[in-house]
Structures are given as C-alpha cells and as structure tokens.
Structure 1
Amino acid sequence: MSTQAPLVVGRPVLGSLQDLRDDTLGAYLRARRNHGDVVRFSAGPPGLRASLYAVFSAEGVQQILGTEASNFRKENDVYSEIRESIGNGLLTSQDTEYIRQRRMIQPLFTRRRVDAYASVVHGEAGATADRWATASGNTIDVSHEMAEFALRSVTRILFGADIDTAVDVVRRNFPVIGESVLRRGVAPIRIPRTWPTPANRRTAAAQQELYAICDRIIAERTTAEAGDADDMITLLIQARDEDGSALDPDAIRDQVLVFLLAGHETTATALAFGLHLLACHPEAQEKARAEVDSVLGGRAAGAADLDELPYLTRVFKEAMRLYPSVAIMGRRTVADTEIGGYHIPAGSDVYVSPWVTQRHPDYWENPDAFDPDRFAPELEASRPRYAWFPFGGGPRACIGQYFAMLEGVIGLATFVQRYEFGAVESEIPVELGMTLRASGPAHVRLTPRESSGAPAGEGRA
C-alpha cells in the first residue's frame, strides 16, 4: 500500500516557501539527504499553501519522464508563463500539436544536418579566441564569454549572416523575459499581465522587441528566393507536414524563440563551467589538450572529429553533470500515481532535479568531485539510464541534444587548442533563472599557446 511522501518541515507561516526561494538547489539536496528519494514540500501562506513533490531517484525520474510520461504534463505555472512569454513551441506544446511540431522539425536536427553547422560553431569559437588576445590582464569571465559565443553561434545558424542586430535584441531582452517567468511562475498570486506595473511594462516591451525582430526576418525570408539558403528560419519556412501544410509565421516565431533560449543559455552554462573546471584541474586540462593536439594537429575541429575526442566529450558531460543547465524540471500529474511506494495525487506539481540526481551517492562515487572518467563507456553502461539526464528524456527529450554536444565539444577543442586556462576562483556560486547560471563573475586566466597553430577558420564537416 502506498503512503504519503515525507513532509519537509518548513517555517510556521510560509512553510518551505522562503527556503525554496532563497536556495532551491540547497533545499532539494537537504530534502533528499534527510528524507529520501520522494519528498513533499508545503509552501505558501495560510489559505494559499500548496503542496509540491520532488523525486530524486533515477527510477522515479524514468517513470516521470519516460515510462509514464503521459501522466506528467507540462501544465504547471512556470510552463504557463513560458507559453505566455515566448509562445507555444516545442518546449511547451503538448499532445497532437507537439507531435505535429516535432515531426515537422525533426529533419532540421538529423546528424547530417547538424554536422553542417560545425563550421559556424568553429568560426564563432575562433573569433572568440581571437578576441581574448586583447583581454585585460589576460583574464576573462567565462560565464559572459560563453554566453556570447553560444548566442552568436545559434543566432547565425537561425538567422544567417546578418546577426548583429538580432544578437543585441536577444542579449538585452531574454534576461527580462527569464526574470518575469521565474518571478510569476512561483508567485502564490499572479498579477494580470495587462496591469501596467513597472515589471509588466518591462516584460511587454522585451517581448515586443523579440517578436518584432523575429517577425521581420521571417517575413524577409518568406518573400525572398530561397536559393541555397540553409539558415534555420528558411528551413522552418520550407518544412511541411504529411498533408503538405506549413508552419504559419507565428508558429515559426515560437520555434525560433525556443531555439534561441535552448540553444544558447543551456550550452553557455555547460561550456562556462567546463572551462572553469578545466582551469581548476590542470591534469584533466592537459589530458584534454593532448587529445586535441593529437587528433587535430593544429587544424580546425569539425563534426567528423567528435568521435575521435572521447576524453573531451567526457569533460563536457561531467560539466553537465555537476552544473546541469536545467537544474529542475517540473510536471503536473493527470491521475493519481505511485512513485517509490509513495502516493502522488492527481493535479500535483512534481519536480525532478538533475542537480540532485546527478549528485546522488547511489549512482556516483564521491559525487561532488570532478572526474570526466566517470563517463568511460563501461561506467556509463553500469548506471541507470536516468542517473544523468541534462537533456531530459522520454518522448520529450531535447531535440537539440546532438547539436549541444557538437557545439560544446568543438568549442572546448578550439579553446584548449589556443589557450591554457588557470583558475582564479575555486568555487563559482550559482543561481537559478530559466536556466542555471553563475551568480557573479567566473574568471579564468589565459596563457596563449604560441605553438598551437590553430586556425580561426572553418572546421571540416
């Protein structure tokens, strides 16, 4: 017989609300340590208090994201706010609409198609490394630099060559949208968006500017001769369903905004912390560099090199284990269910956390330590499927996960080929926005490798 999940005892008036707001990740880690793999939080003032559940075991995560995914839907308040802010693209759509979108968009993310983006990624990585040659004090903030690199890469892939205006619009407005989603998504009472509060006005202005740049470029691509254009907006315009129907301009804009969010904020986090971890672990950095030098011999990294860079791939995976870009994922139950012997009522908000599960001592020895060799093939095969799930899983697994791996490995290869990195801070505090991010500067020292011979040109696809 299933029983009620153990309650995390909070404060007398607000329950766990303040703990979850002040330090969500810490609250989740303590809850697993003190109460086990399925816990219940009670949060909010009297009369508005809500219960939410968190599940930390790999088996429980598999049930939620995989085997019983249809019972765990993207219908909580955070997803509602994302829909209101950036539309109903692949990230938030459900049921037949999600299936239709995924079927139409899947051809844009085949391995062959994604491999063609390698030269764009290497070009932006090379330009980034060139710019570091004049870095003040030979020190950079990898959090800022990787956000810029990833943003320019995905924007060029989406929009084509002329990206400077689009990059500026996204850079200024996505943080406003993200702050609004987070604030409103966890608020016990949400003020209507139509009320002219300062926060609502800022959010509306940011949304309007993002929509306008996307709509303008979509309109230009729709009326232009496609020719050999292979930017992703052109490919979205050309995409057809089985009945020959196309995505309308609003639906294309929704997908573009999702790709901008998922394609730059998530990869930027993994790359930034990957470089920070290499800077803090010179032995791992040297091992990664030796592999890069051996495989590339000073030439540009390309898609065909990914399989030949297994240690660098492990570094990137380990960075995503310790610093998953999406540290918490939420769903809402349709029907009563049982997880780990505990009853979860219908209509409950249920959360899984890569941040916690990917540090779970049942799956990871010395879980807080940086050790890329955890991802040696034999060790990966010995762990449960959902002990590591930075890309989600099941029918809603991230469609762009191969692109993220390509961008991450090519980026790291280019940077370690050109520079040696030294640690400035041993620890980088983090905070939760729409994605995980450093809460302050994440500095590393640069030492150029004069003998690297690494070009800033295109990689081989």
Structure 2
Amino acid sequence: MAGLLGRPDMLFVFDAGEVERVFRGEDSAPHRPSMPSLNYYKHVLRKDFFHAEENCAGVIAVHGDSWSAFRTKVAKIALSVGAAAQYTEQVAEVADGFVDRIRKIRNDDLETPDDFLNEIHKWSLESLSLIALDTRLGCFDSCASSDSQKLIDAVNTFFLCVGELELRAPWWRIYPTTTFKRYVAALDTILSVTLKYVERALEELKCGGNKSLLQELVAATGPRVAAVAALDMFLVGIDTTSNAVASILYQLSLRPAVQERLHGEIINVLQGRPMKPGDVNQMPYLRACVKEVLRMFPVVVGNGRQLTRDTVICGYHIPKGTQVIFQHYVMSNSEDNFPYAHEFRPERWLERGVGGVSVHRRFACLPFGFGRRMCLGRRFAELEIHTVICKMIQAFKMEYHHELLDYHIHPMYTPNGPIRLKLLER
C-alpha cells in the first residue's frame, strides 16, 4: 500500500517463513512502526518531562540508541530470572479478590453483568499496579473519583482515541481536535497518577527492607526512568491483558469438557493449598489453552517493523523505511501453519515432532512479538493471565446461554457484546 497520507508505504506479509527471516535479520535497534500521536506527546508536547534526562523517553514510540539505552536499563530488572515469579502469591490474592467480586455482582441467574469487561479491567489494573507501582489501588471497591477508576477510564480513552488519530486523516497535526484533546488529557492522567506512586516508592525505599520491582528500578535507574517504565506498562498492559482474559473466559465457557480437564489439572497441582511460584509450570494444559485462544483470537491482530535497511522479502527488493506488517491473525488461523486451524485444539501446543521440535510454525503466532522489541512485560502478563484463569476454573463451572458473539477490533480484537457468563459454584 503506497501513497498513504502522512505515512510510509506499507507491506503486508502473510508468510511465516518470511516473518522469521525479517525478525532474525534485524539489527540491535529494530524500528517498530510507532504511533505519531504518542511520538508527538512524548517528544514535543511533554518534551520537558520525557527529555529532562538522557535516554528517558521509554520504549513505546522511541527508537534507535535512545530506545536501546532505556530498554537495557529496564530489562536488567524486568527480565531478570524470577522477576515475575516473586509476585505469584500477591497476584493470586488479587485473582482471589476478583473471584469474590464476581460472586457478589452476579445477577439472580448467576450471570455476570453487561459491564463484565470493565470488571476485568479492574482486575488487570489491580494486578499491574501491584507490579508496576508496588501498591494495591483497591480497584474492586473503587468509586468514580478513585485513582483506579481514573486510570481505567484514561487507558480506555487512550485506546479509543488512538485508533481515530492514527487510522484517519491526521487533522490533529494541524490543529488540536476534540479527540486529540481527550487523548492528551488521558495520557496526562496516567502520567500524574503514576508519578504519585513512584514518589511514594521513593519514600519507602528510604526505610530499607525488601525491594519491590518498582523500588529496584528506582534504585538502579532513578525515579524518572521508573515512572516512564510504569507509564509504558499501563499503556500496553491493561487493555491487552484484560481483553485476553475476557476472550479466554468466553471461549472456555463454550467448552465444558476443556474446563473439566483444566479443573482436574489445577486440583492435582494445588492440592487445596494457595498458589506458589512454579505452580503454573506444572499446568501445561492451562498454558496450552491460553495459547490456543490467543492463536485463534489474538488480542493484537498484527505486529510489524519499519525497515532500517533495504531487505529482500519473498524475492522482492523492499526499500528502507517501508513499514512491514505481519498479519498474525491470518497466519495463525491458516491451515498452512496449523492443521485443523479453525478447531479449538489446545493439545496441539503439547505435541512434539521428531527431536522434540514443535509441529507448528512458531512465527505464525507471536502474541508477545519477538526479538529485542518483544513485549518487556510478557512474563508478568502471562503470570496474571494464567493465575486468574486458574482461580476462575477452580471456583466456577462457566456456561454461556446467549447468542454467540462475533469478534471485532475495538481497538483490541475482542468479543463484540456483553460477555454474560453463568458461573456455577464448584
């Protein structure tokens, strides 16, 4: 696609082998197609904050040496062995709180309310704030004026506005449109709330004791880097994770036999005790079910790169600067990459071919991306998702008794309509 208004040429790739070649051939600072509106917010509108220190603009809408330097600082802490595992028990407590909350708000038919997705947003924010801000926001008891609901609303506004700003004519570059003003206000809210809790972590750091992830970031990189890292986590971690969980719960509610197998695995591992680090590693079927839902219904339907040098793709010379879009939704639902692609088969992720090699095409399904620009929070997101699905299956038999839901992009790929699950106590 060439000649796009205010945009570089775009090339859509549907061949998993070519996707692998592009990923494996990229340099040390891959260029991900960024959102011009967020780029403007970070590097122009709020330049005083994001450029007050060298290499302190984060990893989203940042490229080159500045991106690489920031990622190196954060990755030492966020991607260290056990970084996510240390939060297992606390994340499980949040999941327990979510289960209790859902018990209270079911209707007389034991079904979840029409705004069930907002309740899942609360769970996601509560889990992420525990990790990124070292605090429990009290999302399950929040009111409209609370920090938690402000963050939920701001993140929702951010994602709703970004589609308008990025996919339509960019009038905001000429004058501040109403959508752009809402977008900026949402980002300002996320930043201000984030800074509030980073400052609190700084005070607690002076008191000594065990360091949280946030405190380790503050100690190792300084408060500004920690605040920007937390901001980026909120921008990409709440909506994606909550929509993934909504989709997984909905798909499992349609498959009672899968639920029963999952329940048996969970009971066998936990034996009635609370979750502890390493438990999810003993639940391969749980992990396989999550992978299968994300294969068939990926929350983010595509990934991409902006080429930093001329590249040959499918035998064609593609010039530097072209945006290459990898259509994972199409590839992961293709028979060329996954036999019986349109059937829900978690077992496919447990199968191994000759020499233990996976029988499916790895680069056809990359929900967290790949390489140096893959999701920094992957381990945390997987911990949150696996834990809350485990708790829901442990507590309820889930059923769905309404018209089947289509999926739409809003802007995540998610079930279109209220997810009214019937939850029967086990």
Aligned match for 2:100, one of 121, 130, 154: 130
Q: Which residue does the alignment assign to 2:58?
A: 89
CA distance in 1, matches of 2:176, 2:244: 37
Q: Equivalences for 1:359-378 in 2 at 5 Å?
A: 359-378=333-352
Q: Which residue does the alignment assign to 2:261?
A: 287
Q: Secondary structure at the match of 1:218?
A: helix
Q: Which residue does the alignment assign to 1:441?
A: 418
1:369 Cα offset (Å): 1.7
| Residue ranges of structure 1 left out of the alignment (5+ in a row) | 1-40, 240-245, 450-461
Verify the 8 A CA contact 1:329 1:351 in the aligned structure 2. Answer: yes
1:248 Cα offset (Å): 5.2
Asked if 1:254 is matched to 2:235, the reply is: no
One-letter amino acid matched to 1:210:
I
One-letter amino acid matched to 1:104:
K
How many aligned residue pairs are there?
A: 397
1:172 Cα offset (Å): 1.0
Asked if 1:110 is matched to 2:87, the reply is: no
Structure-2 change in CA distance of 1:191 and 1:127 (3 Å): same
1:350 Cα offset (Å): 1.6
RMSD of aligned residue pairs (Cα, Å): 2.5
1:186 Cα offset (Å): 2.1
Verify the 8 A CA contact 1:391 1:398 in the aligned structure 2. Answer: yes
Q: Which residue does the alignment assign to 1:319?
A: 293
Q: Secondary structure at the match of 1:252?
A: helix
One-letter amino acid matched to 1:168:
Q
Q: Which residue does the alignment assign to 1:64?
A: 22
CA distance in 2, matches of 1:269, 1:179: 14
Verify the 8 A CA contact 2:29 2:65 in the aligned structure 1. Answer: no
Asked if 1:143 is matched to 2:117, the reply is: yes
CA distance in 1, matches of 2:150, 2:38: 18
Q: Which residue does the alignment assign to 2:36?
A: 80
CA distance in 1, matches of 2:29, 2:216: 33
CA distance in 1, matches of 2:219, 2:264: 43
Structure-2 change in CA distance of 1:428 and 1:43 (3 Å): farther
CA distance in 2, matches of 1:369, 1:441: 24
Q: Which residue does the alignment assign to 1:12?
A: none
Aligned match for 2:380, one of 403, 409, 427: 403
One-letter amino acid matched to 2:216:
L
Q: Secondary structure at the match of 1:227?
A: coil
* Cα deviation digits, residues 327-374 of structure 1 (max 9, x gap): 122322233322112332332222112211211211111212211011
Q: Secondary structure at the match of 1:445?
A: strand
1:125 Cα offset (Å): 0.8
Q: Which residue does the alignment assign to 1:459?
A: none
Q: Normalising by structure 1, report the TM-score.
A: 0.79
Structure-2 change in CA distance of 1:345 and 1:433 (3 Å): farther
Give the share of equivalent positions with the same residue, in percent: 22
Structure-2 change in CA distance of 1:331 and 1:187 (3 Å): farther
CA distance in 1, matches of 2:413, 2:170: 25
| Residue ranges of structure 2 left out of the alignment (5+ in a row) | 43-49, 51-56, 139-145
Runs of 4 or more, structure 1, over 6 Å off, are none
CA distance in 2, matches of 1:84, 1:170: 21
Asked if 1:421 is matched to 2:398, the reply is: yes
Q: Which residue does the alignment assign to 2:47?
A: none
CA distance in 1, matches of 2:237, 2:4: 34
* Cα deviation digits, residues 74-128 of structure 1 (max 9, x gap): 2x4x433233456632233333323322222222332322111111211111111
Q: Normalising by structure 2, report the TM-score.
A: 0.85
* Cα deviation digits, residues 393-436 of structure 1 (max 9, x gap): 02212222222222222111111000000023464333334533
Structure-2 change in CA distance of 1:162 and 1:290 (3 Å): closer
Aligned match for 2:12, one of 34, 42, 54: 54
Verify the 8 A CA contact 2:133 2:230 in the aligned structure 1. Answer: no
Verify the 8 A CA contact 2:304 2:326 in the aligned structure 1. Answer: yes
1:60 Cα offset (Å): 1.7
Q: Secondary structure at the match of 1:335?
A: coil
One-letter amino acid matched to 1:184:
L
